[in-house]
Chain A
Amino acid sequence: MFDVGAKPGLWFVWATLLPLGSFVLLLLAGGVRAAARASKNRGGYGAVFFDLLGGDQPGKTSAYVALAAIALAFACSLVGSLTYLSDHHHVQELQDEIATLQERIPEAKGDERARLKAQVDEKRHQFEEFEHQLHERWSGRYDWAYLWSWEHLQPGGPEKNPAPGTLLQLGYRIDNLTITMFLMVTFIASFIHLFSIGYMSEELDREVADHQVHTAHGHLHRRGRFGRFFMFLSLFCFSMLNLVLADNLFQVFVSWELVGICSYLLIGFYYERSSATNAANKAFITNRVGDAGFIIGLLILWTYVGTFNFEEIFARIRAPLSDGHNPEYKLAGQVVRVQPKGEPQDGRQTFVWTPDGSGSHVALFPVTDHLHGIGDQEEQVTEITVGENKASSWGVMPYWLLVAAGLGVFLGCVGKSAQFPLHVWLPDAMEGPTPVSALILAATMVAAGVYLVGRVFPLFTPESRLVIAYTGGITLFVAATIAIVMTDIKKVLAYSTVSQLGYMMLALGVGGWAAGLFHLVTHAFFKALLFLGSGSVIHGCHHEQEMTRMGGLYSKMKITAWTMLIGCLAIAGTPMLSGWYSKDAIIAQALGFAVVYPQHSLLFVLPLVTAGITTFYMFRMWFLTFTGEPRDRQVYELAHESPWTMTLPLVVLAVFTVMVGWGWPIWDAHESVLEKHIHHGQHYSVHAEIGHVGVFEGKIVDPMWHGVKKPEHENIRLKVLENHGWAGLLALGAAGLGAIFALSVYYFRTLDPAEAAEQFGGLHRFLAHKWYFDEWYSAVLVRPALTVANWCRAFDTRVIDGVVDSLGRATVAVARGHGRFDNGFIDGLVNLTGNAIFATGTALRRVQTGFLRSYILFLALAAVGLFAALSYFVSLVNAG
């Protein structure tokens, strides 16, 4: 059916590397130009290079390079995705065939039944084979770094003896989620690049005046930074795509940090403004808090599971889908908890399976093709014996550590996706240029957290998932309430983004894997549209962001107004627009969860109420901006529609905002093609804890793996299906109420918002101060930290500096004494010797008369003297 040896997944690798190439090119060119600038007036090669690379006004070349890279990346992703879809069409056919056969089994009798079962088994075998081949075709792993281990000394080297936790790999694995993310990211990024060419055109000038920065000589004047902007965009695109491409947590983490640094660079793009640098710092530092959790999670997994590869992690911590002997494996896809039994012997400890799921440890399954499962059926083991924790053998890890690993990784996602309580950075990050807000802070980067939660979904135990759900629930409500009172058009959108991300997290937390990720994609389109629309408004109003100074702009910018209206309708959940399909799926999932667990009804009430609030604040924004009387004549008079490079992306994104959720029939919320596409990938992406829906012997099961699922989950799935209609109606009702309310307040003016604000002064203040999060953090974290820092500084200046200073002074004193000793005593001794010798010489020189006669006399006298002495001694000897 296809060439097994080919690696069409490399299309996606190319799509990832293209923006990296663009980044490197722009970096080198910009670097050389900056280095050559010094010699631009001096002539010679430096000036030639400088002129070749654009001179003082380099033009739009950098934008074209970056745009070409990302557009080509989109083309690559498209080719790869189409190939992938055609491959998976066959899988789908097989799956459907098996499902139909299985449905016929209960009705069949005797021989017919046995024949059907045999057929199903054969088909399933074929399917497994097929899936294996597909896996080979669509994934690749490349060794990156070996950490040294004794086992590598065995014959065959590291390749044959992979010690656990010693090999870092880079790799890619393409599944439905990956291709969806790739298409979404490259598509939106392409249009945002195009939009930026228009929006950032001021940066092309040789000298840009920044009216927000005041220096001693008036406004700040600086060189335009057009190329730098596109360089950062390219780096960002590479990082984001690499994050999505990765098949292991290590690569994800590296990209994660790259994405973080890109957001830092882009938020702080106008780095002369202190507000921008503060916002960039805040974003970066808040994300560090989350990433600390991420690292802890990574370390736990590395230590116990011994691998970063997603599939291997899942294969270790979740029971296999079938255990090789028994396709109806009871514990398939679940976390299996075991309890230590007896004392350890020879460093090996026996663990026994706890059917009620109360064990203190989690069984880690060996990564092999074929194994026995744990369970109480024939041919299954109930006891495992564990020695060394190796990836290829049975292992255990404490259950609480698995929970901690999950929560740690989730904390990273909380930071990146701006969830409560780390959401404070995102609204501030609106200091960056608006295309950045659209690309990074709405459509892609903040979605990375949600994406990762979806990607490592099997890592989350029920407790972790509940934490995720509540985090999402709190976030979506808090952010939506703040969005009501914001007057900065971008701040409204920022809080709206936080709120929508909360929806996604909530959906994932209550088990709606596909619903959450579906909303991720649809949200990316309409939020990019809304942000670009706000960018167009801001550009048209000459950098006016306050909605209190807008109003009546509809007649000035019709395209922007219409496209933004589509965005508002979509985010509000208007039927047939993309937001409707995804929000409906989320609320249905939440309702199903709340029906099964009535104690968690809040998780349904919050999104429902917030759906109404969302509609209200979105329409408030639209009405305040585009309708009514202009509140500021000057802004109104100067306002104009943006150039085509900015309106074209708006129109295209608006079209996609409408259509991206469609299926056939389009009025059926269940039939969204995109959601089905994501849903089909669920089994392949995160294994089958939560299978897709099929019916077998009256139970809702995964059509492929008709093994029995965890009953509670079936219940949720069942309730979701039962209540989908109700949930949709309720959400629609809430949204309608919000819309009517907004219409009456801000269009028909039956209620005066200022009066209402006065009446609920306390609440208004509370919301306008963003629930006092910043103040609270400042009081609880920043100020104590500053106090401690001041103490440390005092300690440093007084004690440590004191010790160092006195040490220095003591050293100087000792050195002085030593100098004196050296000058006085030692030099004196040496001089004395010299003087003595000189004196001796002076005394003796008188003997050297130069008269021959005196020498002879001395000679004679000496001879006589010697003779006399000799005689004396001889006489002594003789006498003795």
Chain B
Amino acid sequence: MTDIGLTHYLVLGAVLFVCGVLCMAIKRNGIGILMGVELVLNGANVNFVAFAQFSPTFQVEGQIFALFVIVLAAAEAAIALAIVLNFYNNHLTVDVDTAEELKG
């Protein structure tokens, strides 16, 4: 067993990111899409933190960016949930495929 290095973290981040993107692309449930967004943000966060750990020039910045992302995710979740609630009020469902007013 080798030591856990940067690559592992990056792979973890990538896996989380892809899972998140897939979740957003596949899920029809609005809440599920929000979850996917959280995954994507966390995948990115893993990368920030990993770089902060392993890169000597990126120690503070990585951590601060990670904190920003967490704050941002919280704000985003609040707003997105409000959107979903409104969506539900209008459509009586959270199936995003019913929101096709923007169809060209």
Contacts known (A852-B33, A852-B96, A852-B99); A847 close to B25, Cβ less than 8 A = no
The contact of A853 among B97, B102, B103, by CB within 8 Å, is: B97
CB atoms of B24 and A856 under 8 A apart: yes
CB atoms of B104 and A847 under 8 A apart: yes
Q: Is A787 an interface residue (CB 8 A)?
A: no
CB atoms of A853 and B104 under 8 A apart: no
CB atoms of A848 and B24 under 8 A apart: no
Residues of A within 8 A of B101 (CB): 850
CB atoms of A846 and B104 under 8 A apart: yes
Q: Is A879 an interface residue (CB 8 A)?
A: no
Query: Closest residue of chain A to B104, judged by CB?
Result: A848
CB atoms of A853 and B100 under 8 A apart: no
Residues of B within 8 A of A844 (CB): 104
A-B contact pairs, 12 of them (CB 8 A): A849-B104, A850-B99, A850-B102, A850-B104, A851-B100, A852-B96, A853-B25, A853-B26, A853-B28, A853-B33, A856-B21, A856-B25
Residues of A within 8 A of B104 (CB): 844-850
Tell me the chain B residues, 62-104 only, with Cβ under 8 Å from chain A: 96-97, 99-104
Q: How large is the interface on A (under 10, 10 to 19, 20 to 34, 35 or more residues)?
A: 10 to 19
Residues of A within 8 A of B24 (CB): 853, 856
* Interface residues of A, Cβ cutoff 8 Å to B: 844-853, 856-857, 860
Task: Count chain B residues whose beta carbon lies closer than 8 angstroms to a beta carbon of A.
Answer: 15
Tell me the chain B residues, 34-88 only, with Cβ under 8 Å from chain A: none
CB atoms of B25 and A849 under 8 A apart: no
CB atoms of A860 and B26 under 8 A apart: no
CB atoms of B103 and A849 under 8 A apart: yes
CB atoms of B26 and A848 under 8 A apart: no
CB atoms of B99 and A857 under 8 A apart: no
CB atoms of B21 and A860 under 8 A apart: yes
Residues of B within 8 A of A856 (CB): 21, 24-25, 33
A846 to B103 alpha-carbon distance, docked (Å): 8
Contacts known (A845-B104, A846-B104); A851 close to B25, Cβ less than 8 A = no
Given contacts A846-B104, A848-B102, A852-B33, 5 further A-B contacts (CB under 8 A): A844-B104, A845-B104, A850-B99, A850-B102, A853-B96
A848 to B28 alpha-carbon distance, docked (Å): 18
Residues of A within 8 A of B100 (CB): 849-851
A852 to B27 alpha-carbon distance, docked (Å): 10
Query: Closest residue of chain B to A845, judged by CB?
Result: B104
CB atoms of A857 and B25 under 8 A apart: yes
Residues of A within 8 A of B33 (CB): 852-853, 856
Query: Closest residue of chain A to B96, judged by CB?
Result: A852
CB atoms of B99 and A860 under 8 A apart: no
Residues of B within 8 A of A849 (CB): 100, 103-104
Query: Closest residue of chain B to A846, judged by CB?
Result: B104
Q: Residues 3-31 of chain B: 1 if any A CB is under 8 Å from the residue's CB, otherwise 0?
A: 00000000000000000010011111000
A394 to B24 alpha-carbon distance, docked (Å): 118
B104 to chain A, nearest CB (A): 3
The contact of B25 among A845, A846, A848, A860, by CB within 8 Å, is: A860
- For the complex of A and B, list the 4 residue pairs with the smallest distance between their C-beta atoms, beginning with the closest: A848-B104, A850-B103, A850-B100, A845-B104
A598 to B28 alpha-carbon distance, docked (Å): 143
A860 to B24 alpha-carbon distance, docked (Å): 10
Residues of B within 8 A of A860 (CB): 21, 25
Query: Closest residue of chain B to A851, judged by CB?
Result: B97
Residues of B within 8 A of A848 (CB): 102-104
Query: Closest residue of chain B to A853, judged by CB?
Result: B25
B12 to chain A, nearest CB (A): 18
Residues of A within 8 A of B97 (CB): 851-853
A850 to B100 alpha-carbon distance, docked (Å): 4
A104 to B97 alpha-carbon distance, docked (Å): 148
B4 to chain A, nearest CB (A): 25
Residues of B within 8 A of A852 (CB): 33, 96-97, 99
A859 to chain B, nearest CB (A): 8
